[in-house]
Structure 1
Amino acid sequence: MSASLPPDVDRSAALLSSFWIPFPFTFLLICTRLYSRVLRKDLGLDDFLIVVAWVLYLIGLCLSTVMVRHGGLRHIQYLTMDQLEFVLKMEIVDQPFGVLSAMFGKISVALFICRVMGATAKYRRYIIYVNIAIYVALSFVNIGVLFGQCKPTAALWTPALAAAPSTKCLDASINTDLSILQAAFGAWIDFFLALLPLTFILKLKVSVKRRMILCALLGLGLVACVCACIKAAQFSKSTNNPDATWATYSVYLWASLELPFVIIAASIPPSKPVWDAIFNGKPIRLDSNTFKNSKSSGHSGLIYRFGRSQNSQLKSSTASMEESVGGGEADVQEKRNHSVV
């Protein structure tokens, strides 16, 4: 009987590394982002949401670490019933933090893209809003079905209760398919937000080097997109696997990489003024667009200038884009002199 058992292997060390190695980088970039925005008097909703995403990411890391340390990555045959129930419960409790962290992170990226676009193309902003609305709806439906698929909910992590005649559960494939759909649409959001800036950056009459830098900074979400795609693929492989604790390794691995990359991709462009100040000696200056906007309206934040000519909007958008990713006053003036006419 013992010869038929799989080896008693615990893969927790490898997964804990993927959990915690990216964490210091996310913390550093969150701090530099906020420091840059505070100095430039340019804090916005996108900054608040990325902090929310980071806090949820940290809570999820802690819960996942507890789950892993209690045998969450060993073969199910080597867990006691108490250990199994605890691990399954932690998996259920942990999932909403990952879903919501990714959701708020992607919303932050979307708002940042709206910030740098200015008001040159309202249709781009509407497309962003529609995609984000669909993603938010899928995320909350996913969480609702996760906790509501069984009555009582404790049947999700208590095998004896799940087998009881009084327990009512939906087909497990419903939750799995919805999780795959939510993860796949999240990958689409990353891909869409990474490539959307190309539609206006490539039209700017600035140097090729500057366009490449802007495209690279605003396209970092493609890394998170790859992680989300692989995570979605792993959901189907782990479905209905009798060795539940062993089969979820790949899902946790790619989910643990997707979240920090979302936060890192969202935080590097707004942090650029700090790195320019450290490595190039460029002073961190007040965002002149935000300053002008706050004087005229009494509010700071995203800059939408409606009612102007297209030429004026393009100039404003170019300057706003450069300043949002850290261009100094000289850079902004250069862009104003060479904007699309």
Structure 2
Amino acid sequence: MAPLPTIEPVGLAAATLAVTVVLGTLSIITFALRIYVRASIKALALDDYLMAIGLLFFVACCTFTSMDVYSGLGHHDAAFATGFSKSDSYVLTVSAAKWLVFFQITYAWSLPFIKSSICWALLRFTTARRYVYSLWAVMIFSVGITFVGFVAVMVNCTPFAASWDPSLRAPVGTGHCDASGRISQISYVISAISVITDWACAIIPAFVIWGLKMSKNLKITLMFILALGALASISTIVRLPYLQFYNIPTDYYYNVCNIVIWSIVECGVGIIAGSLPSLRPLLKKIPIFGSKKSYAYRSGSNDTPKQIKMQNLVNPGGRSLASCRGGAEESKWERIDDNSSQQYIIMKNTQVDVEYGLSK
């Protein structure tokens, strides 16, 4: 059997392949470190499993994208004909369409699991109704629009394979596809809702973290990491103008490639930004990311004296009382750990009384 024809990725196709490989690799590495850290402290939770499912869909998404760039994604129409026979050109067109459909499905299902993982993790750190309701709304809307989009893609053509193989459609075949542009319309609705949910996943964590009782440096570090999620939100907005090309056949695979590359950025950055906060035990070893104290951070001023002063009180009975007070009367320590959203405040007031006298 002769090997299938391929097109060497250049220009936009090569850039898409590079972004896909880099973000796919970084996502896998970051998530693997996340699982290592969480498992080592026995803190694996639902948000880890949700992110694992999202990563699986994203890896499949990256695989289909990589295969698609060798089938014509990111290339102008002329690339399908130059140097290829008519039959090879047809095979390339069918392959490009098939991998694009599979990309759309896996991308669509990757997003809700990524967002739900981030939202579920945040639910452990807040009980404020305004945040709880908002986070649940993000999860519900994300799953809802994904399901709608998935159904729309699956029923757009009958049989389903007619979505990429024109030989199955009339008049050659007996199949057919919806020509009303419904997919494009649904894409706009889904993208609009995705913009809202993406920005919610980027903004809500900042408010939740800022309200927690932890050191200011730790807050800034975590907010900086989660701010990467804003890049995912920006990618959704950048992608919007390109949705029109779903209905424009000229240079279809070149123009649609812009949608693909920004979709890869959205998912990849989402996984990385959602996993980095869990790497705190590793990142804290780097000076700019954390202090030398593992999980305890002191708030307020340090009132502990460098020297402990002993005060002697002599009473008429010949007995002396030595009083030693160490540290501030109220020292507050804040503990942040992955197992709980509670803030543990340790208040310690230590006083040692030493009483001595002449033996009788």
TM-score, normalized by the shorter chain, greater than 0.5: yes
Larger-gyration structure (1/2) = 2
Which amino acid letter does the alignment assign opposite residue 31 of structure 1? A
- 1:265 and 2:273 aligned: yes
Q: Is the 8 A contact 2:295 2:337 kept in 1?
A: no
Alignment partner, residue 311 of structure 1: none
Structure 1 gaps, min length 5: 1-7, 287-314
CA 1:140–1:34 in structure 2 vs 1: closer, same or farther (change >3 Å)?
same
Q: Which sits farther off after the overlay, 25-34 or 240-249?
A: 240-249
Alignment partner, residue 298 of structure 1: none
Q: Give how far 1:199 is off.
A: 3.3
Q: Deviations over 1:267-307 (max 9, x none)?
A: 01111112214666857679xxxxxxxxxxxxxxxxxxxxx
Which amino acid letter does the alignment assign opposite residue 70 of structure 2? R
CA 1:39–1:53 in structure 2 vs 1: closer, same or farther (change >3 Å)?
same
Alignment partner, residue 154 of structure 1: 161
The structure with the greater share of residues assigned to strand is 2
CA 1:83–1:204 in structure 2 vs 1: closer, same or farther (change >3 Å)?
closer
* Residue correspondence of structure 1 range 209-288 to structure 2 within 5 A: 209-277=217-285, 282=292
Alignment partner, residue 45 of structure 1: 46
TM-score, scaled relative to structure 2? 0.72
Q: Give how far 1:186 is off.
A: 2.1
- 1:196 and 2:165 aligned: no
Alignment partner, residue 130 of structure 1: 137
Alignment partner, residue 180 of structure 1: 188
Alignment partner, residue 97 of structure 1: 106
Which amino acid letter does the alignment assign opposite residue 226 of structure 1? I
Alignment partner, residue 32 of structure 1: 33
Q: Deviations over 1:141-197 (max 9, x none)?
A: 101111211222222212343342854433452111212222332222121122113
Q: Give the whole-Å Cα distance in 2 for the aligned partners of 1:202 and 1:281.
A: 18
Structure 2 gaps, min length 5: 1-8, 81-88, 297-331, 348-360
How many percent identity over aligned positions? 22
Q: Give the whole-Å Cα distance in 2 for the aligned partners of 1:53 and 1:205.
A: 31
CA 1:188–1:63 in structure 2 vs 1: closer, same or farther (change >3 Å)?
same
Match for 1:323 among 337, 342, 355? Answer: 337
CA 1:87–1:13 in structure 2 vs 1: closer, same or farther (change >3 Å)?
same
Q: Is the 8 A contact 2:184 2:243 kept in 1?
A: yes
- 1:72 and 2:51 aligned: no
Please report the RMSD computed on the Cα atoms of aligned residues, expressed in angstroms: 3.1
Q: Give how far 1:67 is off.
A: 1.5
Q: SS of the residue aligned with 1:196?
A: helix
Q: Give the whole-Å Cα distance in 1 for the aligned partners of 2:258 and 2:280.
A: 33
Q: Is the 8 A contact 1:187 1:224 kept in 2?
A: no
Q: Give the whole-Å Cα distance in 2 for the aligned partners of 1:77 and 1:45.
A: 48
CA 1:207–1:39 in structure 2 vs 1: closer, same or farther (change >3 Å)?
closer
CA 1:217–1:9 in structure 2 vs 1: closer, same or farther (change >3 Å)?
closer
- 1:140 and 2:140 aligned: no
Q: Give the whole-Å Cα distance in 2 for the aligned partners of 1:193 and 1:163.
A: 44
Which amino acid letter does the alignment assign opposite residue 50 of structure 2? L
Q: Give the whole-Å Cα distance in 1 for the aligned partners of 2:23 and 2:70.
A: 19
CA 1:229–1:95 in structure 2 vs 1: closer, same or farther (change >3 Å)?
same
Q: Is the 8 A contact 1:39 1:285 kept in 2?
A: no
Residue correspondences, number: 292
Alignment partner, residue 14 of structure 1: 15
Q: Give the whole-Å Cα distance in 2 for the aligned partners of 1:137 and 1:114.
A: 20
Q: Which sits farther off after the overlay, 71-80 or 30-39?
A: 71-80
Alignment partner, residue 301 of structure 2: none
Q: Deviations over 1:16-43 (max 9, x none)?
A: 1111122332122112211111122110
TM-score, scaled relative to structure 1? 0.75
CA 1:236–1:154 in structure 2 vs 1: closer, same or farther (change >3 Å)?
same
Q: Is the 8 A contact 2:43 2:339 kept in 1?
A: no
CA 1:73–1:157 in structure 2 vs 1: closer, same or farther (change >3 Å)?
same
